[in-house]
Amino acid sequence: MSRKLTYDTWLFGTATLIVVVGLVMIYSASAMIATQRFGHGPYYFLTRQLAFLVAGSMAMLFVMHLNPAVLQNKRVVYGGLAIVALGLIVALFQSPINGTHRWIHLPWFQLQPSEFAKPAIILWIASFLARREERVNDLTTTLLPLGFILALIAGLVLLGRDFGTATCLILIACGMVYAAGIHVRYVAMIAAALVPLGGYFALSAAYRRERLLTFLNPEADPLGKGFQAMQSLIALGTGGAEGLGIGNGRQKLFFLPEPHTDFIFSIVGEELGFIGALLLLAAFALLAWRGFHIARYSQDRFAFYAAVGCTLMIVVQALINVSVTLCLLPTKGLPLPLVSYGGSSLIASLVAVGLLLNFSQQSG
């Protein structure tokens, strides 16, 4: 079949819409905090996010126009993975922020290598599975090597005390392997290994135990450990069906911690209401549909696996973030892709969108 000359305009338009909504909500959620808490002007976080958007758009355009053969080149795939691993190691020796070692401190911003671990591991797994598709159920030549590399990267992320991102990496990898047709007995074996392992890590650190206990009963300490969860629910409940209007939210006024990052969906619910929050979720659903559509009709197996991974990267993280704001999951510290403030998250998410747009040219 002949090569398509256009990208998936629905995917591009949906991603653009989500980013624009994010910019509006970042300004609304952060203007007061930027002025009162940090001593900057009200546009501080918005202008920084715009700068990150320019960088992310350039990265998206770059990967959009790359030859897919370059993306699955072993030197590119393994080189990217090595750079990410090095970045994760460097981050471990940086000064901690809120008790975590997730960032590399640079002159003008902080780089979070764990965000770039997602597209890097996706490209590596896609390349790996495309070469071993017929042996996907071979334990020694496929599953164990894949598990070793995944455990290495996820382990480095976990050492930086980023349990949420490590969980995302594992869920993305499991989804890609499942798409490759792994036998049900191996699915059961992996689940039997990951569930107790995840439980161990969730309970092994004091702060994670506290989060889990708070999640089970946030009302027990509404002014202490349960403060974030309770304020998030108040914000969502206050919005009602139509919301209080952009800029009129009250929970962002030093009640809800980090309203422009991890809990921005709560501000969306408060200011845009149930209808606005539902429309944002519908936009993510549309993005997921287009991503899986691209994967389904890909003519190249590498593109198929990479498209599945990139779609899962955005969707899984969005589901976790929204679930946290709704108190359906313990607090994870994961941003809402394409919406929350944060340069590393925005750039990495736009790279994933760029990869999907690249692959959309070759889908049938």
Q: Is residue 27 part of a domain?
A: no
Lowest pLDDT segment from 83-97, 243-257, 345-359: 243-257
pLDDT of residue 224: 66
Q: Kindly report, residue by residue over 264-301, the tens digit of the pLDDT.
A: 999 999 999 999 999 999 999 999 999 999 999 988 89
* Rounded CA separation 54/147 (Å): 35
Nearest-10 crossing angle of helices 264-296, 343-360: 20
Q: What is the pLDDT of residues 221-258, one digit of tens each?
A: 666 677 788 888 889 999 899 999 998 988 888 788 88
The DSSP result for 109-178, as a single string, is -EE-HHHHHHHHHHHHHHHHHHHSGGGTT-IIIIIHHHHHHHHHHHHHHHHTT-HHHHHHHHHHHHHHHH
Nearest to 130 by CA among 318, 324, 306, 277: 306
Q: How many other β-carbons are positioned within 10 Å of the β-carbon of residue 277? A: 23
How many structural domains are present in the chain? 1
The DSSP H or E segment spanning 105 is strand 104-105
**Residue 187: its pLDDT value, please?**
79
| Residue 220 included in any domain | yes
% of the chain exceeding 90 in pLDDT: 56
Question: In which domain, by residue range, is 192 found?
Answer: 69-284+304-334
Report the predicted TM-score, pTM, of the whole model to 2 decimal places. Answer: 0.92
CB 31 within 8 A of CB 43: yes
Please list the alpha-helical segments (H only) found in 180-300: 184-204, 206-216, 227-239, 264-296
> Is residue 245 included in any domain, yes or no?
yes
pLDDT at position 203, please?
67
Residue 95 lies in a domain: yes
Taking a C-beta distance cutoff of 8 angstroms, is the pair 293, 258 a contact? no
β-pair type (110-111, 104-105): antiparallel
Report the share of the chain in percent with pLDDT over 70. 92
Q: Is residue 129 part of a domain?
A: yes
* 64: in domain: no
Task: Kindly report, residue by residue over 175-217, the tens digit of the pLDDT.
Answer: 999 998 888 788 787 777 777 777 766 666 666 667 676 766 6
The helix or strand, by DSSP H or E, that contains position 91, with its residue range, turns out to be helix 74-92
Task: Give domain status of residue 227, yes or no.
Answer: yes
Would 289 be classed as within a structural domain? no
